[in-house]
Amino acid sequence: MKPSQRRRVRGVGRGRKTRRALERGGTGPARALNAVLGRWDGVRITPMFGRWGYFRGEHLFACFPLRERDRDLWIRLAPADQTRALREPGVRPHRRFAGRGWIELVIESEADVPRALGWLRRAGAAAARRDEREAGEP
C-alpha cells in the first residue's frame, strides 16, 4: 500500500496512520498466532484496547498484546477445560476474569505458539457453541 493510500484510524480530527505492526499483522509471536488463527474458519482478528482480539462469531475467545514486550495470551475456556489447563505448567488463572473461564499463558517466542494452539482450538469451539446457542434464541 502506498503511503498516500494508508488507512486511517477513525476518530475525531484528521486521524492517524495505522501502526506498522498492525499493517504487518503483528510482530514476533503475535504475527505467528495471527497467521495460524487467521486460517481458521469463522475466526475474526481485530485490534482492540492494545490487544489482538480473536473472535468466533460475536464471541471473544482469546487476546494477545499488540506491544512486543507484553507476552500474556488470554484464553477463555469452558469450566472443565479451564480446570484441565490450570494443571499445566506455565498456565495461570487470569488475574481478573478467572471466574469467567479466562486463563493466562505466557508466549515468549514463536516456538511457544504450538503449545497454545490446543487450548485456542478448545476456546474457539466453545465460542462457536455460545454463538449457536444465542442464534437459536428468539
pLDDT computed for residue 133 by the predictor: 85
DSSP-assigned beta bridge partners for residue 73: 105
> Which pLDDT band holds residue 68 (cuts at 50, 70, 90)?
confident
Neighbours of 115 (CB within 10 A): 14
26-53 tens-digit pLDDT = 778 888 999 999 999 999 999 888 899 9
The pTM of this model reads 0.80
pLDDT computed for residue 131 by the predictor: 84
Task: Output the CA angle 56-133-81, nearest 5 degrees.
Answer: 65
7-23 tens-digit pLDDT = 555 555 555 554 555 55
- Cβ distance 24 to 31 under 8 Å? yes
To 10 degrees, what angle do helices 113-136 and 79-86 make? 170
> Which pLDDT band holds residue 77 (cuts at 50, 70, 90)?
very high
- Cβ distance 25 to 19 under 8 Å? no
Q: Given a cut of 90, is residue 67 above it in pLDDT?
A: no
- Cβ distance 28 to 34 under 8 Å? no
Report how far apart, in Å, the C-alpha atoms of 122 and of each of 38, 47, 128 are. Answer: 16, 22, 10
d(CA 60, CA 53): 7
CATH numbers and ranges of domains, the chain: 27-136 (3.90.1150.30)
